[in-house]
Structure 1
Amino acid sequence: MAIVRLVLDVLKSIRGPSIIDLAEKLSELKGINMVSVKVNEVDVETLTLTVVIEGDNIAFEDVRNVIEDMGGVIHSVDEVIAKS
């Protein structure tokens, strides 16, 4: 089974890389064709983001590693589409 779409709820520090940097870094991963990052809420120190990723074979662990390296944490996985 290959993951072809992920929708993630991500918390990211306001400090550090921008959402543009995050989207660009995620889009560089193998198997990813499209990344969308939307700001849902701005708090004093954090951004609440919806990250939508589409591709042919998304490696979830690689996605998680990039998000964490960029100062974020996955709060929840809100949607997954996989195909064989």
Structure 2
Amino acid sequence: MADKKSQKPKVWRIVLDVLKPHDPSLPEFAKSLGSMEGVEGVDVALLEIDKETETLKVTVDGNLDYSEIRSEIEDWGGVVHSVDEVIVGKKKDI
């Protein structure tokens, strides 16, 4: 019988609506998320910009922990407005 832990579904993709200050820059912000354990790829798209903030669509792929990702975003001064998409499965190729 297979180990129950190995059967547990994993979060493979999270798409977030994020508001952050202009600093850090988008490349620096994306690299920070991309260097997190379990993260295999990050796509950050600028949706809107105003005098003090940027609204982003952030897509993160890998073997993910949402609370760690949210904490990293908050450490950079950002706020997760919403979780817009989540892909979960037992294998990455779902």
Is the TM value for this pair above 0.5?
yes
Structure number having the greater strand percentage: 1
SS at match of 1:67: helix
> Structure 1: how far apart are the matches of 2:51 and 2:35?
30
Match of 1:68 among 74, 91, 94: 74
Partner of 1:54: 61
> Structure 1: how far apart are the matches of 2:37 and 2:19?
23
Q: Which is greater in Rg?
A: 2
1:58-83 residue CA offsets vs partner (Å, 9 max, x unmatched): 01111011101111100000000011
SS at match of 2:33: helix
SS at match of 1:62: helix
- Identity rate of aligned residues, in percent? 45
Please say if 1:45 is aligned against 2:67: no
Partner of 2:14: 6
1:13-33 residue CA offsets vs partner (Å, 9 max, x unmatched): 12x211111110111111110
Moved over 3 A (4+): none
Unaligned runs of 5+ in 2: 1-8
SS at match of 2:37: coil
Unaligned runs of 5+ in 1: none
- Number of aligned residue pairs: 82
> Structure 1: how far apart are the matches of 2:55 and 2:76?
14
